[in-house]
A = this chain, B = another copy of it.
Amino acid sequence: MTPGPASPLPVAVLGATGAVGQRLVERLADHPWFEAAELVASERSARRPYGDAVRWLGRSPLPAAAARCEVRGAGEALASRLVLSALAGEAAAELEPLYASRGHLVVSNASAFRLHPSVPLLVPEINPGSLDLLAGQEWAAAGGGLVTNPNCSVVGLALALAPLHRAFGVEAVTVVTLQALSGAGYPGVAALDAVGNVIPWIAGEEEKIESEPLKVLDADFPISAAVHRVPVVDGHTEAVFVKLARRATPEEAAEALSTFTGEPQRLGLPSAPARPVAVLREPDRPQPARDAERDGGMTVWVGRLRGDRAHDLRFTLLVHNTLRGGAGAALLNAELMVARGMVEPARVAAAVETS
């Protein structure tokens, strides 16, 4: 268990009023290492108390301290060295490099820079070493940097593929997703499109699912995806079919999946699940309404492990899209950076002075 900082580290949240931003604020409220010191949103919200500016979507009430916090405008100078970004596409593309160039360590959930060669696409259990890329980033001289986590569907897929790839070699993947409404943010999907319906398309999603896992796993195999929006609140379900280099029985695959751990578990990071991947034996699980929130929403649940005539392995996985696939992913990334000593208070102070 890594000892945390002596006193809570202040962090800033970009896009704090959005769906993922709210999840960050919620998680930060009782985080043992971090403190939500600065909440940043668009001009419309700036200079209002967060509690007035936000349309709070959470089931737990808006944390009182956050509610009183005055929202800052996008681009304003920030004192926190760590900046968690829950921004959407264009705002991310503009603001994340800006803050990195001012010496902040930006930990982003946005897609804008995920595939950039000098930017880590980090899943701490899989590729913690990708953090070495920061030294070569253009913002390194200023003390800044940018780290991203994958798309919400990809986090679940990559965590399930990683142990299989190491043990047996993955050669091809076909994946069909049934994605939750919260993945579209708020207001997101219109209720008239969602209730009693399936939408067989999400803009840009298949492209992300077919490319991001390859960077995370440092691999090259074909991935074929078909995505759907379903009337579920939280939790993406994915039906996965895998061709392996070396055949494996479902039992061998289950063993590889359920014994998989990584640096977050060794370091005892606060957001690290005990098991990154858990295998369920009941024939009708995992189910988003019953399993997504379990164990803090940071475990990927795998069920229905079996082989077939056409693929070596098939299974169903469930990932909590706004926790393990969103706010929790960013927090775990930030925790790993702290544990690795990349966020020394001294440099924070220095960074702040220069900003």
* Chain A interface residues (CB < 8 Å from chain B): 19, 57-61, 172-174, 176, 178, 181-182, 186-201, 210, 222-224, 226, 228, 230-233, 237, 239, 241, 283-290, 293-294, 303-304, 308-311, 314, 316
Contacts and interface: CB of A to CB of B under 8 A. Distances in A.
B190 A187 contact: yes
A57 B199 contact: no
A198 B174 contact: no
A113 B290 CA distance: 34
B182 A192 contact: yes
Given A200-B286, A241-B224, A287-B200, A230 B186 contact: no
Nearest to A303: B200
Listed residue (A59, A196, A210) with the most chain B CB atoms within 10 angstroms of its CB: A196
A215 to B, nearest CB: 16
Contacts of A58: 290
A181 B230 CA distance: 14
A197 B310 contact: no
Nearest to A293: B59
A197 to B, nearest CB: 4
A284 to B, nearest CB: 4
A188 B192 contact: yes
A304 B195 contact: no
A294 B60 contact: yes
A224 B309 contact: yes
